[in-house]
Structure 1
Amino acid sequence: MGTFGEATALVARGTDEFGATLDAQWSVGTKLHGGYLLAVLARAARQSGAGERHPHVTAVSGAFVEPPAPGPADVRVEPLRIGRSLAQVRVSLAQEGRVRVESHVTLGVLDDGDPWWTSLPPVELPAEEDCFLAPTDPPGADFAVPLMAVVEERVDPAHLAFAFGAPTRKGEIASWQRLADGSDWDPLSLLVALDPVPPVSFDLGLSGWVPTIQLSAYIRRLPAPGPIRVRLSATDVGGDRMDEVAHVWDSKGRLVAQATQLAAVRLPD
């Protein structure tokens, strides 16, 4: 098992161009995880010239054009604006000369202060030890989830009824998460947590792959050490599309990140 830092490491080829080696372990089935891919692009933004005075990713909007394959990839950063309080860049990941993922990344400086105001208390969960540890080989599934070897995810048992053929159809799945290598969460690795598995479609009685089309994420503050709580929910499903909204709270109960994504979903006839 490699660390998150190793899996997202880059080799500089100049100020704004990098080489990456995409790690197959950060996958769901045979597809590289979307949050992991955005973390690779966001790391490139941080390590570019734009990140010199703006060390933290604060927002990412990613478009998944074509699934990249594990292995070598080219990452290019294009500065759009570098100001006093933030920097905005465009980052693309390409293989074989074709863009596979493209994102807009906003960099800035985050702190670990408490919110001035918030309307969203942390999701209530049973104790970590009372939640179900997600395996790399889910029962009844016809594919493996290598990601669960590098992300320790413990799902609320109340949200696992779908595994027994009785989905609640409430459109919500919540879990505790830690990085399996023991690292603390940071603004880059939180992008992985903001694209959690299983997809909330499972709780709606829909099975099958749910590929991300577009994902927008916001990192609100530096997370405290320890586990995070993640809640994934859906608002509307139709036209073979589904939204998923993720909220992440740190060990102090503070909202540290949130995301909304549009995903493709296969609906029954």
Structure 2
Amino acid sequence: MANFSAATAVVPRATAGEFDVDLDPQWALEDKPNGGYLLAVLGRAAAALSGHPHLTAISGSFVQSPKPGPAVITAELLRAGRGATQLRARLTQDGLPRVEALVTQGVLEDAEPWWSGTAPVDLPPLPDCPRSSTEAPGGAFRIHLLDVIEQRLDPVSGGFRHGEPTGRGVITGWLRLADGTDWDPLSLVVAVDAMPPIGYDLGAPGWAPTVQLSAYVRRLPAPGPIRIRVAATDVGGGQIDHAVHAWDSKDRLVVQATQICALRLPASH
């Protein structure tokens, strides 16, 4: 099992701002690397050009899914300010652009919010939420990512696994890294893309490839698993959105994200 640090390691090339990376096959769905994982790899490379220690925001467009294996990252410094550094990063494979991202680096605190309009999602205790299988419902494909991320869904919102979707367009659960490593600002970018596609809870199961994903890390996470809620707002035109919020063991919002995915709707729709 490749831990997160090893799976996102980048090696600088002789040319400034260029890095080699070996995309890990475990951080993937079948042979397609997870979108959050790809953004974390880009964030790792961008951080090497920044004087600020923490990823605070990243927004990526997914042009074409790469395969596990060698790829190249090119990172560019856009602006180095007092409070934040802005950068651009691109992942290419076989000479073709695969993912492009804008990255902001800053300094995060381990502190309570001054004000918050969100409350942590209410979940059964972690042991009462069964761990998700690496096989997608119906055995349609293998989710290798669930070997390295322990996903435990609320039994109610995970009813789609037994043919009982709620139709609410909401999936909630617990997430932690399977090797026991605590979450950090970079790995949280994987967490926001580690839950099942919301289409499963709406009776539209299947792979939902990411078109665009923006994530915002709000503070340094406390040790322990995170609670996460993914909800859809609108479905149509072959697309679905995922609005994601996650809270740490101190009940603080640590990361949020918005994602647009392609979705093949059932014929009755």
- Answer whether TM exceeds 0.5 for this pair: yes
Query: Does the CA-based 8 Å contact 1:137-1:145 persist in structure 2?
Result: yes
Residues in 2 aligned to 1:47 and 1:90: alpha-carbon distance in whole angstroms: 12
Provide the residue aligned with 2:19 in structure 1: 18
2:36 counterpart residue number: 35
Corresponding residue for residue 184 of structure 2: 186
Task: Report if the CA contact (8 A) 2:31-2:68 is conserved.
Answer: no
CA offsets 1:43-85 (integer angstroms, 9 cap, x no match): 011112xx2x211110000000000010001001011111111
Deviation at 1:142, TM superposition (A): 1.4
Deviation at 1:30, TM superposition (A): 2.2
Q: CA contact under 8 A between 1:196 and 1:232: conserved in structure 2? A: no
Q: CA deviation at 1:87?
A: 0.6
- Greater shift in the superposed pair: 23-32 or 59-68: 23-32
Q: Cα deviation per residue 1:201-227 (whole Å; 9 max; x = unaligned)?
A: 100000111000000110000000011
CA contact (8 A) 1:131 1:156 kept: yes
Partners of 1:208 and 1:136 lie apart in 2 by 14
Work out the CA distance in 1 between the residues paired with 2:144 and 2:99.
21
- AA in 2 matched with 1:121: A
Provide the rounded CA distance (Å) in 2 between the counterparts of 1:246 and 1:139. 22
Assess if the C-alpha contact under 8 Å between 1:92 and 1:99 holds in 2. yes
The alpha-carbon deviation at position 138 of structure 1 amounts to 3.8
Cα shift at 1:106: 0.5
Residue 164 of structure 1, CA deviation: 2.1
C-alpha distance in structure 2 between counterparts of 1:233 and 1:207, whole Å: 15
TM-score with structure 2 length normalisation? 0.97
1:248 maps to: 246
Q: Distance in 2 between matches of 1:45 and 1:216?
A: 16
Report if aligned partners of 1:220, 1:256 keep a CA contact under 8 Å in 2.
Answer: yes
Q: Which amino acid aligns with 1:233?
A: A
Partner of 1:5: 5
Residue identity opposite 1:4 in structure 2: F
Structure 2 match to 1:131:
129
Residue 42 of structure 2: SS of its match in structure 1? helix
Root-mean-square deviation (CA, aligned residues, Å) is 0.9
1:197 to partner: Cα distance: 2.5
Ranges in structure 1 where 5+ consecutive residues have no aligned partner: none
Q: Percent identity?
A: 55
Alignment of 1:79-158 (within 5 A): 79-158=77-156
User: Which portions of structure 1, spanning 4 or more consecutive aligned residues, are displaced by more than 3 angstroms?
Assistant: none
Do the aligned residues in 2 keep the contact of 1:125 with 1:175 (CA within 8 Å)? yes
- In 2, the alpha carbon distance for the partners of 1:131 and 1:255 equals 21
CA distance in 2, matches of 1:163, 1:154: 12
